[in-house]
Amino acid sequence: MTNNIIKPSTLPGFMELLPAEQILFNKMLDTIRDNYEKFGFLPIDTPVIERAEVLLAKGGGETEKQIYKFEKGDTDLALRFDLTVPLARYVAQHFSELTFPFRRYHIGKVYRGEKAQRGRFREFYQCDIDIIGNGKLDIVNDAEIPSVIYSTFKDLGFDSFTIKINNRKVLKGFFEHLGILNSTEILRTIDKLEKIGLNKVEEELKEQGLEQDKINKIIQFIQISGSNEEKLDSLKKLKIENDIFNEGLEELIAVNHHVKVFGVPEENYMIDLTIARGLDYYTGTVYETFLDEYTNIGSICSGGRYDNLAEYYTKQKLPGVGISIGLTRLFYQLNEANLIKTEDNSLTKVLIIPMKGYLDQGIKIASDLREKDINTQIYLETEKMGKKFGYADKLGIPYTLIIGEEEIKQGRYSLRDMETGKQEMLSIEELLLVLKDS
Amino acid sequence: MTNNIIKPSTLPGFMELLPAEQILFNKMLDTIRDNYEKFGFLPIDTPVIERAEVLLAKGGGETEKQIYKFEKGDTDLALRFDLTVPLARYVAQHFSELTFPFRRYHIGKVYRGEKAQRGRFREFYQCDIDIIGNGKLDIVNDAEIPSVIYSTFKDLGFDSFTIKINNRKVLKGFFEHLGILNSTEILRTIDKLEKIGLNKVEEELKEQGLEQDKINKIIQFIQISGSNEEKLDSLKKLKIENDIFNEGLEELIAVNHHVKVFGVPEENYMIDLTIARGLDYYTGTVYETFLDEYTNIGSICSGGRYDNLAEYYTKQKLPGVGISIGLTRLFYQLNEANLIKTEDNSLTKVLIIPMKGYLDQGIKIASDLREKDINTQIYLETEKMGKKFGYADKLGIPYTLIIGEEEIKQGRYSLRDMETGKQEMLSIEELLLVLKDS
């Protein structure tokens, strides 16, 4: 056939991994899922394509620009750009069939037509949990979320990370108390403190036309330091007479107390009054999570409390709290930081290599091992011995098992540890023990 | 806020499940994945969006009509409509980094803008395995595939199913021998034998202008019956002098022999000379799988051998063999046949119910259980006792654990079996034993 060859390539902004990396990526997905299930979250899976009208119900902003939209027949369709909007639609649609508080996890791909640049992805996995109340939702839920984050990142193999917690009501009330009613811009500035430093923050606040005494109070406020308890004490001592502030402070105190009860070690969480998540729809508790040694990666898990999940789809009031892990970006960044190790990562435990004339015996042993749930591959091609061992080597398969005349006669099989090169003659039972353990 | 409420609904042809069903669906996905990994297949995950040019390289036919296409910037994009085309592109693109034979599995969603009708889905999961050789691939691989099918459907809980095996070369050679060079239409007719019956097949063949003696020979051929060995014997006895026929027959004999060696029971596979998979690109072995008691569902797992996977993307010759399970459609049909049972299906083992004033103690025990990898939820809302038990009931959580004054004093906790209503006072250690076992 004389075909035109089309260059095989993926689009920029779409991650595609080789199998050894994919195995690691999947292990991370599994760990996240196991943890979400350990905390009693239920799985859902929504369509990637929805009516554009549904996904853009809230409308406006970056979303509208970035969303993948297209027509099919006479319907405007779009690809989901997060898992929160589909959750809102799901809960509104299936309201009467769900049990509240509704705890759901959702792991899936989302799409954003961002400007292509290194480390930015147009297709990426989000791993979300949310707890949705019907009408109300106890503040203790806000304290359980950090324990999910803690358990998950521990299991992912991270030791030094910090979950930063704040409450938007504390910020909102504080600004109201200063006579500032629209604090969006200020919050956005404060949010950048870590990045741009105190002086730049002060400068920006001046540019926004704030009086110096208010700026001083804001600077003083975001510099409140010490242990979590000391920070809470300092906030109390401000004696601010503002209902929203005091409601937020009470919530923050409750969350701080219960996070500890949920077993999150002191070194893994802290109250940080500069965490604002300015652009989001959060109304109470907010979270961000940082790797202590790689803060430049930015927050690896964020979220918060919101008053009303699904106002665009239902009149039911549905407060909730949740977080999201953007695994594609995290994986990319861990890889950039050389923290992804693809060695010793084979899912297959053993490669069976039958000698000439012993194929059937090899197949039988492969079937036996598989029946015992041992991931087994059998080499079926006609090749030289060296090539067969090389195959196991390249794939990182830890063991090879040779089946030939001697082996069948003795009922013992020579298992070779591909790392050490050590070879042993083992009975099937001994074989199973070694392979089950490894 | 006075929003316009947008009706929360999904598009027709898109499956969305409630959590109890989703748990079952995910279990099926996991079972399939576990089996694919047990046989040494490596995971890959490709973008859902690719350049239209790449996905439509082969072009023509139904695909072109059904594919979701759209523009972003000045690039023509499309959503993948199967996992085979992306595999071809992947293998061509990463050729030098892969190890051959390349055994990959891929579980993911694909998109086809089909006419909406009951049981037809526009978004559905495919679960594929393929073994790709570099230049050549031993026929024994074709015999390993049915053992993956067997192991997978056994683990999915099916007992009576039949993997039907045929070889396109046998058909092609037989028709050549009859002087029929273009057998596409005939194959399509034969493929319908099960559905339309022998008389209709004969009629259709007549309409296609075939001479009666050829029709007789075809009818005689597809009626060859008996055990697998008897069928192979009958084929041999035809003494057809056609190279393609005899090559196919030899392959079929080899596959039949090795399928048995791979441990597939005789009752779960059969040679069926009417299986043609007429419209596909298969060139040798072909498979279809039927539930014996629900043949009307159609084939639940199909595939076959092809000569050249990636001819549109590379000059490398890449023969392969593979199968696909369309899980979304299968799940839908099992549900229609009342074979999906969502009871006793909770991922969460126990709901902790703290009495008033014992929240912190409840949280601590929840954390302890979670640390022992027991999926645990704690009820955090202020509600009446009945509502709390009702919550466990609705979600099908098998146990509740009450934490109150008495329990804390004794260091024993009352575990209630939600099905039997039986309640026991247990120590933490006893608790762990019960919950680990259940």
What CATH number is associated with residue A420?
A: 3.40.50.800
On whether residue B36 sits in a domain, the answer given is yes
Q: Which of A120-129, A167-176, B54-63 has the lowest mean pLDDT?
A: B54-63
Q: How many domains does chain B have?
A: 3
Element (H, E) at B215: helix B212-222
Mutate which: A45, A83, A87, A346, vs B, most B CBs within 10 A: A45
B258/A57 Cβ within 8 A = no
Query: Of residues A185 and A142, which shows the higher confidence score?
Result: A142
Q: What is residue A238's predicted lDDT score, i.e. its pLDDT?
A: 94
On whether residue B4 sits in a domain, the answer given is no
Q: Nearest Cβ partner of A138 from B23, B45, B381?
A: B381
Closest CA to B46 of A78, A18, A44, A119: A18
- Residue A42: CA atoms inside 13 Å, Cβ hemisphere, count? 24
B99/A38 Cβ within 8 A = no
B6/A312 Cβ within 8 A = yes
Closest CA to B389 of B358, B411, B421: B421
The chain A residue lying nearest B23, using CA atoms, is: A43
Domain end (from A313, A336, A359): A336
The chain B residue lying nearest A368, using CA atoms, is: B263
Which residues have a Cβ under 8 Å from the Cβ of A277 and sit 6 or more positions away?
A168, A191, A286, A288, A302, A304
On whether residue B40 sits in a domain, the answer given is yes
Chain A residue numbers with beta carbons less than 8 Å from the beta carbon of B376 are 38-40
Parts of chain B with a pLDDT under 70: 1-3, 60, 278-280
Chain B residue numbers with beta carbons less than 8 Å from the beta carbon of A98 are 18-19
Minimal CA separation from B205 to chain A, in Å? 30
The chain B residue lying nearest A66, using CA atoms, is: B72
What percent of chain A lies above the pLDDT cut of 70? 98
A75/B19 Cβ within 8 A = no
Which residues have a Cβ under 8 Å from the Cβ of B405 and sit 6 or more positions away?
B355, B357, B358
Domain end (from A277, A306, A336): A336
Cis peptide before B12 (omega within 30 of 0): no
Query: Are B327 and B357 within one domain?
Result: no
On whether residue A332 sits in a domain, the answer given is yes
Chain B residue numbers with beta carbons less than 8 Å from the beta carbon of A57 are 6
Domain end (from A294, A311, A336): A336
Chain B residue numbers with beta carbons less than 8 Å from the beta carbon of A147 are 367
Query: Are B165 and B285 within one domain?
Result: yes
Q: Nearest Cβ partner of B313 from A5, A70, A311?
A: A5
Averaged over A73-100, what is the pLDDT? 96
- Confidence band, pLDDT 50/70/90 cuts, at residue A217: very high
B97/A14 Cβ within 8 A = no
Query: Are B271 and B285 within one domain?
Result: yes
A137/B10 Cβ within 8 A = no
- Confidence band, pLDDT 50/70/90 cuts, at residue A64: confident
Chain A residue numbers with beta carbons less than 8 Å from the beta carbon of B259 are none
Q: Nearest Cβ partner of B48 from A6, A48, A311?
A: A48
A373/B47 Cβ within 8 A = no
Q: Nearest Cβ partner of B39 from A68, A315, A370?
A: A370
Mean pLDDT score of chain A, rounded to an integer? 94
- Confidence band, pLDDT 50/70/90 cuts, at residue A20: very high
Q: Taking a C-beta distance cutoff of 8 angstroms, is the pair A23, B42 a contact?
A: yes
B19/A43 Cβ within 8 A = yes
On whether residue A382 sits in a domain, the answer given is yes
Minimal CA separation from A261 to chain B, in Å? 6
Query: Are A218 and A294 within one domain?
Result: yes
Q: Is A420 helix (H, G, I), strand (E, B) or coil?
A: coil
Q: Nearest Cβ partner of A19 from B43, B53, B140?
A: B43
Q: What is residue B280's predicted lDDT score, i.e. its pLDDT?
A: 65
Mutate which: B141, B363, B399, vs A, most A CBs within 10 A: B363
Q: Enter the tokens of residue B177.
A: 């021998």
Chain B residue numbers with beta carbons less than 8 Å from the beta carbon of A314 are 5, 8
Strand ranges of the sheet holding A350-354, from the earlier edge strand across to the other edge: A376-378, A350-354, A399-403, A413-417, A423-426
The chain B residue lying nearest A38, using CA atoms, is: B375
Length of chain A: 438
Query: Are A253 and A400 within one domain?
Result: no
DSSP type of residue A14: B
Query: Are A324 and A231 within one domain?
Result: yes
The chain A residue lying nearest B26, using CA atoms, is: A43
A9/B54 Cβ within 8 A = yes
Mutate which: B1, B2, B5, vs A, most A CBs within 10 A: B5
Q: Is the pLDDT of residue A354 over 50?
A: yes
The chain A residue lying nearest B264, using CA atoms, is: A367
B103/A47 Cβ within 8 A = no
Q: What is residue B343's predicted lDDT score, i.e. its pLDDT?
A: 83
B75/A70 Cβ within 8 A = no
Query: Are B261 and B331 within one domain?
Result: no
Q: How far apart are CA B116 and CA B14, in angstroms?
A: 10
Query: Are A165 and A260 within one domain?
Result: yes
Q: Nearest Cβ partner of B99 from A3, A371, A394?
A: A394
B48/A3 Cβ within 8 A = no
The ipTM value here is 0.96
On whether residue B427 sits in a domain, the answer given is yes
Minimal CA separation from B348 to chain A, in Å? 5
B39/A45 Cβ within 8 A = no
Q: How far apart are CA A203 and CA A193, in angstroms?
A: 12
B315/A48 Cβ within 8 A = no
Domain region containing B389: 350-437
What percent of chain A lies above the pLDDT cut of 90? 83
Query: Judging by DSSP bridges, how do beta strands B49-51 and B75-79 pair with one another?
Result: antiparallel
- Confidence band, pLDDT 50/70/90 cuts, at residue A118: confident
Q: How far apart are CA B317 and CA A350, in angstroms?
A: 28
On whether residue B311 sits in a domain, the answer given is no
Closest CA to B153 of B36, B297, B295: B36
Query: Are B323 and B398 within one domain?
Result: no
The chain A residue lying nearest B312, using CA atoms, is: A5
Q: Burial level of B185, CB count in 10 A (0-12/13-18/19+)?
A: middle
On whether residue A11 sits in a domain, the answer given is no
Query: Are A365 and A312 within one domain?
Result: no
Query: Are A74 and A144 within one domain?
Result: yes
Q: What is residue A100's predicted lDDT score, i.e. its pLDDT?
A: 98
Q: What is residue A277's predicted lDDT score, i.e. its pLDDT?
A: 77
CATH number at residue B182: 3.30.930.10
Closest CA to B275 of B291, B289, B259: B289
Q: How far apart are CA A256 and CA A227, in angstroms?
A: 11
A8/B314 Cβ within 8 A = yes
Q: Nearest Cβ partner of B3 from A23, A147, A312?
A: A312
Cβ pairs A/B, distance under 8 A: 257
Query: Are B322 and B389 within one domain?
Result: no
